[in-house]
Amino acid sequence: MKVCIAEKPSVAKDIANTIGATQRKDGYYEGNGYQVTWTFGHLCTLKEPRDYVEDWRYWNLRHLPMVPSRFGVKVIEDEGIQRQFHIVKRLLVDATEIINCGDAGQEGEVIQRWVFLKSGTKAPIKRLWISSLTEEAIKEGFANLKDGNKFNNLYAAGSARAIGDWLLGINATRLFTKKFALQRQVLSIGRVQTPTLAMIVNRHLEIENFKPQDYWELRTVYRDTEFNSVLGKIKKKEKAEYALSKIKDEAFEITSFEQKEGKEKPPRLFDLTALQVEANKKQGYSADQTLKLIQSLYEKKLVTYPRVDTTYLPDDVYPKVPGILQNLTYYSELTAPLLQKKLPKSKQVFDNKKVTDHHAIIPTGVKVSGVTPEEQKIYNTVTKRFIAVFYPDCKVSNTTVLGEVLKLEFKATGKQILSPGWRVVYQKDDSKSKKDENLMPVFVKGEKGPHEARIDTKQTSPPKHFTEATLLRAMETAGKHVEDEEARELMKDNGIGRPSTRANIIETLFRRRYIERSKKNILATHTGIDLIQVIDNETLKSPELTGDWERKLRLIEKGEYQPAQFKQELIEMVVELTNEVLFNTAKKAIRIMDDSKEEEKKDKPKKKRAKSVKVDITTLTCPSCKKEGFLEGKKAYGCAHYKEGCKFVIPFEFMGKKLSNKQLNDLITKGKTTKIKGFKKLGSEESIDGKLELTSDFNVTLNAD
């Protein structure tokens, strides 16, 4: 019996109906020599820390870094999932052939391969690789099943991604939570999540610390056309006023009038990120909302596979385009002109070399029914873009006029649409009318006349907060500001995350209350800011380095980089990060005393105490801010004036050695302790002897013998 396994029950039903497996059984369909079953997304997951070492269930710095010698997979501990897994396992073990019908992408491959791994099946595996769920696409896919081994690199990349996220996420989260606990909150650290949050926090701080500066611009109006002075932003008002006084009564002379015809190509087809950006700008939908809507349209057979990162179509789609356009009857007014002649085959649309797992998102041509108003808007966005790419370029006239007064140059620019081309598709949607276009009169070089000069007072503006649209673009380009579509295409291999995961990353940051929405803007919360500021390690926060990891994962997918090498790099980073945070002690501890109760300051004069009398640490003067008073927290003594900005902290325990009251006192009052025996490095039983000392920036360091 051939066993087909899909990622969702709904997809399994579509496949079963197409191949004739029409008998409904418990957890699968059967018929015509096939059994068609399904997962519920992930049935299996990487093992948790406690599954490797019992003590790893406890959050203890002594256990870090946690690096399993071999990563394992387990069935998720959920009654419904366990039940379905046992049904799937029974079918797979008895199968003569397995057809992997999971989502045709990296995550879909991992979901299915983990199930095969846990089931212990030895049956040969074929792969169904389709870009839509129409009956025609499913039949075509079954007629051209691929050898499952051809997708080993895809699985290797997905597996490496999951292991990398486990290594960094679990170790870094426990490390920073235990070292710098903020109000008992778990400090969630992630390979993609943290650099994304860092971009938002950095933008927030730029805006918060921005100091606006006044500047002045010199403008003039000649023949109802506004000209700007080439002086640009004038920093001194006196200079602007002086220039105005000199030119206001002099004639304005045209020195150049130039009109050039240009072309604007149609916008590219949508990949997932571009669609999310467009939907956020036009409809205000979140990235997650757009993903759910386009996924629903895919499952309703109305659009092709959506979790894609390419804006191109392969050559073999070209013969199918007329049929798709013909079936878009609701858009017949727009498609009719295209169907009257041979469609163009532009390299901007069709390029086999630039198609990855799947091609760009396009409509399938299936008649629309049963969609929500929100789904209709997304469908309309995708369909109009598909139609527009086959229209001719928009022809424009770009006008540049130069003028001068007393040798001071001015400039004006404008644009006129000569032939709308692809813009016809958007005429009803476009809020711009002809009166909004910057139409200009015809000027003649050498003409002169009176003008109306003025000074505009302005202020420099801070950067804008991220919206989901601009954040998605920043993730796509690893934090670099890129407007050009060609440049963005080249940078996709180095983006943060994948198109299919970015929406979830953003939603995770919202759920953990690291960021919040203010209308369309995304703002960092105090918790998010504190988390990023407590992380000294720049690698964790770097969009560029995270983008480099993504590039390596894509190389693994292509068979050009070894998964073991990627894993080893992550292990080395985790070990280095752990040592850095643990052995440099509390560099940036914030609010570590959140549960401490402030004690009354003691005004009693200090008396010389006998060695047998316990030293009262809380009465001492902080060496950092020079103010009196310490608080006793759960893990450390900290300056009582931490709310005023002092971050001085002395931990009770350092490198496995609990410090005595006398040693703490010496460290605070003298800046160093006497020789202490028995310090231990993480993961080593070797003892180290030495003195603890305060550095110049009031951190604790070990001066080993």
- Residue 698: its pLDDT value, please? 79
The more confident residue out of 576 and 3 is: 3
**Which pLDDT score is estimated for 697?**
72
Q: In the structure, what pLDDT confidence band is assigned to residue 178 with cuts at 50, 70 and 90?
A: confident
Statement: residue 249 has pLDDT above 70: yes
- CA within 13 Å, CB half, 574: 28
Q: Has residue 614 got a pLDDT over 60? A: no
Catalytic residues: 305
Rounded to 10 degrees, the C-alpha dihedral 173/175/180/185 comes to 30
Q: What's the pLDDT score for residue 585? A: 44
Tens-digit pLDDT profile for residues 1-33: 999 999 999 999 999 999 999 999 999 999 999
| Reported pTM | 0.76
In CATH, which of 2.130.10.10, 2.70.20.10, 2.40.33.10, 1.10.540.10 is domain 214-266+394-459?
Answer: 2.70.20.10
Distance CA(55)–CA(60), nearest Å, equals 9
Q: Which residue(s) pair with 71 in the sheet?
A: none
- pLDDT at position 78: 93
By three-state DSSP, how is residue 251 classified? coil
Residue 41: predicted pLDDT: 86
Q: What is the residue whose two structure tokens read 């169907």? A: 339
Lowest mean pLDDT among 459-473, 579-593, 609-623: 579-593
Asked whether 92 and 98 are in contact (CB, 8 A), the reply is yes
Please give the structure tokens belonging to residue 552. Answer: 């390596």
Higher pLDDT, 263 or 702: 263
pLDDT (0 to 100) of residue 507: 94
pLDDT for 693: 87
Question: Confidence band (pLDDT; 50, 70, 90) for 432?
Answer: very low
- 3 state SS of 363: strand
Name 99's Cβ contacts closer than 8 Å, sequence gap at least 6. Answer: 2, 3, 4, 5, 125, 126, 127, 128, 142, 145
Mean per-residue pLDDT for 484-500? 71
Confidence grade of residue 56 (pLDDT, cut at 50, 70, 90): very high
Q: What percent of the chain has pLDDT over 90?
A: 65
Strands (E), 386-520: 394-405, 408-419, 448-449, 452-459, 466-467, 515-518
The torsion angles phi and psi of 509, rounded to 5 degrees, stand at: -65, -35
Main-chain phi, psi angles of 695, to 5 degrees: -80, 175
If you compute the radius of gyration of the chain from its CA atoms, what whole number of angstroms results?
Answer: 32
Q: Any residues with CB less than 8 A from the CB of 446 and at least 6 apart, and which?
A: 253, 254
* 250 pLDDT more than 60: yes
At 438, is the pLDDT very low, low, confident or very high (cuts 50, 70, 90)?
A: low
pLDDT digits (tens, 9 = 90+) for 317-328: 999 999 999 999
Longest dimension (CA), the chain: 103
Higher pLDDT, 385 or 179: 385
Question: Looking at residues 174-203, what average pLDDT do you find?
Answer: 85
Of 173-177, 193-197, 476-480, the one with minimum mean pLDDT is: 476-480
Average pLDDT over residues 109-128: 96
Q: Is 50 exceeded by the pLDDT of residue 164?
A: yes
CB atoms inside a 10 Å sphere around CB 601: 11
Residue 576 has pLDDT above 50, yes or no: yes
Beta strand 97-101 with 2-6 is parallel
In this predicted model, what pLDDT tens digit does every residue of 67-114 receive, in sequence order?
999 999 999 999 999 999 999 999 999 999 999 999 888 889 999 999
Percent of the chain predicted with pLDDT > 70: 90
Name the DSSP class of 151: G
pLDDT for position 594: 39
Angle at CA 358, nearest 5°, toward 354 and 363?
A: 110
For the chain, the helix, strand and coil percentages under 3-state DSSP, each to the nearest 5: 40, 20, 35
* Single-letter residue type at 227: F
| pLDDT bucket at 608, cuts 50 / 70 / 90 | very low
Give 423's contacts (C-beta < 8 A, 6+ positions apart): 394, 417, 430
pLDDT at 602: 40
pLDDT attached to residue 660:
84
If one compares 491 and 436, the residue with the highest pLDDT of the two is 491
CA nearest to 552, candidates 74, 56, 191: 191
Domain 172-209+466-583 has CATH 3.40.50.2000: no
- Please give the Cα distance from 193 to 624 (Å, whole number): 34
* Total number of residues shown for the chain: 705
Strand-pair category, 653-654 with 252-264: unpaired
Please give the angle made by the CA atoms of 479, 485 and 487, to the nearest 5 degrees: 60
Residue 687 pLDDT class (50, 70, 90 cuts): confident
Q: What is the distance between the alpha carbons of residues 387 and 491, in angstroms, rounded to a whole number?
A: 27
> Is 183 a residue whose pLDDT tops 60?
no
The correct CATH number of 272-388 out of 2.60.120.560, 1.10.290.10, 3.90.1150.10, 1.20.1440.230 is 1.10.290.10
Give the residue-averaged pLDDT of 155-176: 94
Cis bond upstream, residue 124 (ω within 30): no
Domain residues of the chain, as ranges?
2-144, 172-209+466-583, 214-266+394-459, 272-388, 617-704
CA 36 to chain centre: 35
Q: Which CATH class is domain 2-144?
A: alpha beta
| End-to-end alpha carbon distance in the chain | 71
CA–CA dist 488, 271 (Å, integer): 12
Distance of CA 187 to the CA centre of its chain: 18
Segment 342-366 mean pLDDT: 92
**Per-residue pLDDT tens for 553-575?**
989 999 999 999 999 999 998 99
The rounded distance, in Å, linking the Cα atoms of 102 and 328 is: 29
Whether 592 has a pLDDT exceeding 50, the answer reads no
Residue 482 near residue 472, CB atoms below 8 Å? no
Q: Look-up: residue for tokens 């073990």?
A: 93
Alpha-carbon dihedral sign for residues 522, 528, 533, 535: negative
Residue 258 clears pLDDT 70, i.e. is over it = yes
What's the token pair of residue 699? 């951190």
pLDDT, the chain, mean? 88
What's the pLDDT at 425?
A: 95
Instruction: Provide the pLDDT confidence category of residue 580 given band limits of 50, 70 and 90.
Output: confident
Q: 29 with 16: CB under 8 angstroms?
A: yes
Which position has the higher pLDDT, 425 or 488? 425
Q: How buried is residue 572: exposed, middle or buried, by Cβ count under 10 Å (0-12/13-18/19+)?
A: exposed
Selection from 66-75, 637-646, 675-684 with the highest mean pLDDT: 66-75
Both tokens of 342, joined, read: 């041979």
How far apart, in whole angstroms, are the C-alpha atoms of residue 298 and residue 305?
6
3-state secondary structure of 645: coil
